[in-house]
Amino acid sequence: MTISEAQLNMTTFNASLTTNDSNSSLSKHAFLSDESLSGLIVLYTLTTLLSITGNIFVVLVFAKGRHSRTDLRPFLINLAVADLVMAFFCMPFTFADTILGQWVFYKPICTLVLFVQLFSVAASVMTNMAIGIDRFLVVLFPLRSRVTYSRSKYVITVIWFCAFSLASVQFFVGRAQKHGDIYKCVEVWPTPGSRKIYTVCLFLFTYIIPLLILAITYAIVGILLWKRTAPGNKDQTRDLHRLRSKIKLN
């Protein structure tokens, strides 16, 4: 909700593309002054706090509101929860690791952070995709049965299962590895080819495929709504057809 799609996609690839040169990591912030670094910390802290408070507010509002049979409330709550997971369990650790250039936390937490990071991103992207498909079906087939409140629970279950499956790889490759005198939170793959395959899969399932689906569905929705005449407004084709029918009767 409050985390932008660009930030979500960048986080996805940060979870898969890692750096092996610890010296460059330690020196990459050397050009920043103390004032700039302090400002960066303040901005990141504010972003995290706004994300947490904003999404908690969204969850409370939609959870306590009146439920309708075919509303998007479950999907919006699910989207906010995914962003909350990111804000609580990923953003603080990722920022500290980026600023310090090393992993200073308990080593098993590294694996958990990499997993939760990708898990929340995938869940958020898939939820947005589900919302887009639902809007598309409503406009294209307005008289057919929609995803009801009870059915949406099954859709959300599938979303979380798919997100878990995609992120579970981090349990096998994510670890805090020693580089010289420091530890780095990285992915350790058996072969370079396996990492490339996984990165391509992430790119497809968390960016390319959702982008294509949303672009196509919303484009069709826009075209249909543009051509559709609102009830009570003039429709030249309809009026011409009625006029011809009257002439034939006369």
pLDDT digits (tens, 9 = 90+) for 104-120: 888 889 999 999 999 99
Give the residues across from 186 on adjacent strands: 175
The closest of 122, 203, 207, 108 to 166, measured between CA atoms, is 122
User: In the prediction, which pLDDT does 121 show?
Assistant: 93
Label the pairing between strands 174-179 and 182-187: antiparallel
Min mean pLDDT across 50-59, 138-147, 185-194 is at 138-147
Mean pLDDT of all residues in 32-53: 83
User: In the prediction, which pLDDT does 171 show?
Assistant: 94
The closest of 3, 29, 209 to 117, measured between CA atoms, is 3
DSSP state of 67: P
Model confidence at 70: pLDDT above 60: no
Model confidence at 25: pLDDT above 50: no
Mean pLDDT of all residues in 217-226: 88
Whether pTM exceeds 0.85: no
- Residue 66: CB atoms within 10 A of its CB come to 6
Phi, psi of 5 (to 5 degrees): -65, -35
Model confidence at 33: pLDDT above 80: no
What domains appear along the chain, each with residue ranges and CATH number?
5-249 (1.20.1070.10)
- Residue 46: CB atoms within 10 A of its CB come to 10
Q: How confident is the model at residue 24 (pLDDT cuts 50, 70, 90)?
A: very low
Q: CA 81 to CA 59: how far, in whole Å?
A: 7
User: In the prediction, which pLDDT does 235 show?
Assistant: 54
- C-alpha 216: how far from chain center: 18
Model confidence at 154: pLDDT above 50: yes
Model confidence at 49: pLDDT above 60: yes
User: In the prediction, which pLDDT does 16 show?
Assistant: 46
User: In the prediction, which pLDDT does 162 show?
Assistant: 95
Q: How confident is the model at residue 233 (pLDDT cuts 50, 70, 90)?
A: low
Distances (CA, A) of 33 to 28, 81, 212: 12, 36, 42
Model confidence at 124: pLDDT above 60: yes
Query: 3-state SS of the chain: helix, strand, coil percent to 5?
Result: 70, 5, 25
User: In the prediction, which pLDDT does 153 show?
Assistant: 85
Q: What tokens were used for 2?
A: 């409050």
Q: Is 46 helix (H, G, I), strand (E, B) or coil?
A: helix
Percent of the chain with pLDDT over 70: 72
Give the residues across from 183 on adjacent strands: 178
Mean pLDDT of all residues in 78-90: 89
Distances (CA, A) of 216 to 128, 147, 159, 209, 225: 14, 20, 20, 11, 14
Q: CA 108 to CA 113: how far, in whole Å?
A: 9
Strands (E), the chain: 174-179, 182-187
Q: What tokens were used for 208?
A: 């390319």
Model confidence at 44: pLDDT above 90: no
Q: How confident is the model at residue 93 (pLDDT cuts 50, 70, 90)?
A: confident
